[in-house]
Structure 1
Amino acid sequence: VIVWIVVDFYITDLIPLIRYYRNQVLNILIESFTSPVFTLGSKGFSILDIMFLVGLTIAMWKGVGYFIKIFRTKIIGLTGAEQSVQDTISFLVQYGLIFLGILIILQLWGVDVSSLAIIASVLGVGIGFGLQNIANNFMSGIILIFERPIQVGDFIQVGNLEGIVKRIGLRSTYITTLDKISLIVPNSRFLENEVLNWSHNNPISRVKVPIGVAYGSEIRLVRKAILEVAKSHPEVLLHPSPQLWFQEFGDSSLNFDLLVWIREPQKKSKLKSELNYRIEVSLRKYGIEIPFPQRDLHLKSPEIEQMIQTWIQKNTTQSAELYYPDSFVHKLERKISDLELDEEDNLTVSTINNIDSEILNNIDIDTLIQEMRGSHGVAIKDRRHRWGIYPKCFVGSEAVKWLMRTQNLNLQEAISIGQLLINRGLIHHVLDRHDFKNEYLFYSFYEEE
C-alpha cells in the first residue's frame, strides 16, 4: 500500500494540472483533520486530536488489564482469599486505575478537568436517580463480600427461599435450592431482610425429631431404642452426642424430642426422614407401641347397657378354629422372620464404607482420640501457610502414617478412619474445605478450639 501511494505521488507530481488538484485535496484533508471540531474550556479539539486521544485511552485500558492479570495471580492469589473477594478487589482496582488514567490523559492533553465538574455532577444526579436500585445492589454486594455474613457454600434461608450459595457477585447472589433450581437474588435483599445462615462460622446444626410412645412403655427401653438409632447413623455426629429429651405427658402419648447434630444442614430433611424410618423399626423391635389419638366413650345408662349386651349375645357366633399342620406353621413363622430381617437390613446403613467390620470393632474411638492428642500422638502445633496462621492443628499425611503405625492399618483403612472422625464431628479441616486426605492439609480437633 505504501509503495502504491509513493508511485501515485510521483506520477501526479509529473503533471502540473494534476499536481495542483492533488495539493488542493491534500490541503482540504489536512485542514479537516486539524481544524478544531469543538472546544472544551480554552482548548479546541480536532478530529486528529480525538483519534489520538481515543488511541491513547485504548492503550491505557489494555495496559491496566494486563496489570490486573498480574495483580490477581502474583499478589491477591497468594493471600488465599476467597474467589469472590479476589474478584471484587480486582474490579475496584481495575476501574480505579482506569478512572485515574483518564484524568491523567486529559490533564496531559491540556484539558481543564475542573470544567468537567459541572457536567459530571449533573450526569451523576441523573444517573443516581435512574440507577439507584443498581447502585444499592452494587454497594450491598461489596458489603457482603468484605463483611462476609454469607459465603459461597453456605446453606441459607431468606424468607421462604432456602438453598446453597453458589456465587456472590457485585449486583446479585446465585443460590441453588434443594430442588436444584437456580435463583438470582439481589444483594440488597440480604441486608434489608433477616437471613438465616445455617453454615455461619460453624456448619454444625441441630436437628429435632419429635417422637411419641404409648403410655405404659418402659422409659429405659425407649431411650435405648432411640439413641441406638441416632448413634448408628453415619451422618449423625458423636460430638456433640445425640440427646433424648422427655418433653411432656401428652393427651395420648409420652412425647420425646431426639436432638442430633449434623455437619451438612442442607441434608436435615433427608436425615429426619431416615431417622423416622429407623426409629419405627427399632421401637417395633423392642415391643414399644407408637400410639394414635383416641377417645373413650363411657355409657352410664343401665337400659342402654342391657340392650347392647343382648344385641352382642344374639349376633356373636363362635369363631371357627382352623387347623394348620406344624410344618406349615413353622414355614410361615420362618417367612415372617426373614421378612423382618430384610426390612431391618434395608434400613441399616453402614457407618463406614471402606473399613472392615472387624477392624472397626477393634478400635475404640474415644481411646483413639486420646492417643492421637497424647504425648505420643500426632504433632499438634501452630502452623503457618501463606499469609495465615492456624493454631493447634496437625497434618493429614502425618496422621495417616501414625494410624498405620499404631493401629496396624493399611493406607486405605487409615484414610477411612480419619474420614470417620470427620463424619462424627471429632476433627475437621481448618477451613472446612476438604475431607480427610493423605496430603499436606491441616486438621484440628474440635475439643482443641
Structure 2
Amino acid sequence: MTSPYPKHDSLAYSLLGAARAVALVRTGTALPQALARVNQTLSASPQARGAIQDIAYRAMRARGRADALVQAMTSKPPQPPLLLALLECALALLDTDAGADAAYEAYTVVDQTVSAAGADAELAHARGMVNAVLRRFLRERNALAAQLAGNREAQWNYPQWWIDAARTAYPAAWEQLLAAGNSLPPLTLRVNRRKTDMAAYLALLEQHGMAAQQLGPDAVRLAQPVPVQRIPGFGQGLASVQDAAAQLAAPLLDAQDGMRVLDACAAPGGKTGHLLECAALDLVALDQDGQRLQRVADNLQRLQLQASLQQGDAARQDWWDGKPFDRILADVPCTASGIVRRHPDIRWLRRKGDATQLATLSARILDNLWQMLAPGGKMLFVTCSVWPQESEGQAAAFAVRHQALRLPAPGQLLPVSQAGQDHDGLFYALFQKPGV
C-alpha cells in the first residue's frame, strides 16, 4: 500500500522527481529533456523544479560511485530501474566523499527517501530495502570506501572507456581533465559591447551586490551563480550567458562590418549574438532543427540584433543561394565531451564509438561549407570536444584534403576551473581559403 504523495515543498517530492529524471537518462534521454518531462508530468512549482534539478545533477556527477556502493550493499541489482535511480539520488546527498556538501541532515535524507519510495506504486514494496541500504551506508561508509579502492569508475564517476580514452589522449593531464569535468560550472557572462562596456557593467553588478571577476575582453564570471532573471540587465540585452572559451569564437573569426557571414549549426545562438555585437554583418544563422532555431530568434530579439534565420542541413547545399560567404563559423556536432561539467549526463549517454561516428559527420559538414567560402575567406572550425579524433585529428585531415592555410588559433583548450581562469573544453582551428 502506498503512502500519500509527498508535499511539493518536501525533500521526498524532490527526490522522487529527480529519480524519475535519472531513470529516464538510463533509457537514453538527455537530462534537460528528462527534467522537462518530469516537471510537466508533476506540474512542479518553480521551487520544486529547482530542487529536482539540483538533486538530479548531483546524481549524474556521482553516479559511478553510487552504483558501486549499491552493488556492494545489495545481493542483486535493484528493480525496477526507478529504485536504483532513487538510491543514486539519495547517495548523492549523503556521500560527502563523492562531493556531497551536506545540504541536508543525513537522517532527513534517509527519512525522506523512504517516504518517497512509499509514495510510488512501483517502489512501495522496497521501503524497507531503501531504509536498510541507506542506514548501512551511514554505518559502514569507511569500510565501503575501502572496498571501492581501485574501482576507477567509483573514483572518477565516469565510464571506464571514458577514463581510458582520457589517459590515452592526455597521459600527463588526464586526472586534471576528469576532475575539471566533475567541478561545478561557473556562471560566466558576455558583456554586450553595443550596449555597455566592461567597467560600466562591473559597476552595475557591484550595485546589485554581486561579486564578479573579469575573465576576458567581454567575459565576466559571477562569484555566485544566480537565476537568469536575476542577472542585471539581462532582459535589456546588456549581457548574455556564455562560457569564456566560447567567447573566443567571434574575435577569432575577425568578421568586419558589411561582411557576409554564415553561422552554421547556430543554435542556441550564443556565438551568433556575439558576432553581431562585434560587427555589423550580413549574417545567416543556420540550423537543422526548427525549434532550436527559434531559440536563436529569441536570443537575437532580446539583444535587439538581426540575422537571416535559415533552417537547413549544414552537410547539404539545398538551402544555399549560391552567394559565397566571407566568413564561416563551423561549430560542428560532437560528443560534447568538453562540457561535461555543465552536462554531467553526457558521460553516461555517450558510447565508445560515438566520437568516430560524429567525426565522420563533421568532416562532411566542413567539406561542404568550404565550398561556400569565398576565395580569401576564413572558416573557423569549433568543437566542444576533448577527443583528438573530433578536434586536432579532424583539423589536420581537413587541412590536407583542401590544402587550406591554417592560421593561428588556440587549438585544444582543456576545461579549467580555477581562480583566474575558468572555461569549458573547446577546440579552435582557423583556415583561410586560397585566393584574393
Structure showing the higher helix proportion among its residues: 1
Regarding TM over 0.5, the answer is no
Q: Normalising to structure 2: TM-score of the pair?
A: 0.20
In our comparison, the structure showing a higher alpha carbon Rg is 1
Q: Normalising to structure 1: TM-score of the pair?
A: 0.20
